[in-house]
A and B are shown apart, each in its own frame.
Chain A
């Protein structure tokens, strides 16, 4: 059972364009939604994150839009650059069903973004 669904699997965007990656979740117990960026041969790195009581968060060229009623959130990359070419993962955090007070972070399957000059 996939708890966080991410789309598209891959995305090609022209330099200067807007990259949009979407995620959806079912479990309303999720309370924290980060995005991670991963370059080839490296571990993922935290990019930006949002809580469900906020509808939008912007950091530089990166914006998260969050729709609590639809249980969807998305990452927008404005003025996309070749250096943004990477795999992006959305994730969601909730209290672990097995551990008292401990949390689990569940990832989407990732989107490979290619920004072409």
Chain B
């Protein structure tokens, strides 16, 4: 049981480039989400999905796109990378999306935009 798998672990992008951060879970979880973690800022929600075909914006969605075509996968797309998007990105999933469901986090993708 792999849990939540994120790839790549590290990435360096040039300003203006695009890329997709991959997230896959094998726990048949309905709910998946993307957070970014910046020093002194905690974890901030970017986008989330409550099931295949359903996504919604979180606290800091600008510059990012998501889609959810399958239960297992929830990729995060950076359309035109900016230095402000330098961060550690975490994908998380849970069985349900109501209160009381613990999140399982991936090990993160460290992104640097130069």
Interface size on A, residues (CB 8 A): 30
Q: Is the CB of A43 within 8 A of B107?
A: yes
Q: Is the CB of B50 within 8 A of A109?
A: no
List chain A residues, Cβ under 8 A from B106. 43
Q: Is the CB of B56 within 8 A of A98?
A: yes
Contact surface of A with B, Cβ cutoff 8 Å: 6, 9, 31-32, 34, 36, 41-46, 49, 51, 89, 93-94, 96, 98-99, 101-110
> Does B67 sit within 8 A of A, measured CB to CB?
no
Interface size on B, residues (CB 8 A): 28
Q: Is the CB of A32 within 8 A of B99?
A: yes
List chain A residues, Cβ under 8 A from B108. 41-43
List chain A residues, Cβ under 8 A from B59. 104, 106
List chain B residues, Cβ under 8 A from A32. 98-100
Considering only CB atoms, which chain B residue lies closest to A103 in the complex? B97
Q: Which of A31, A34, A89, A99 contacts B43 (CB 8 A)?
A: A89
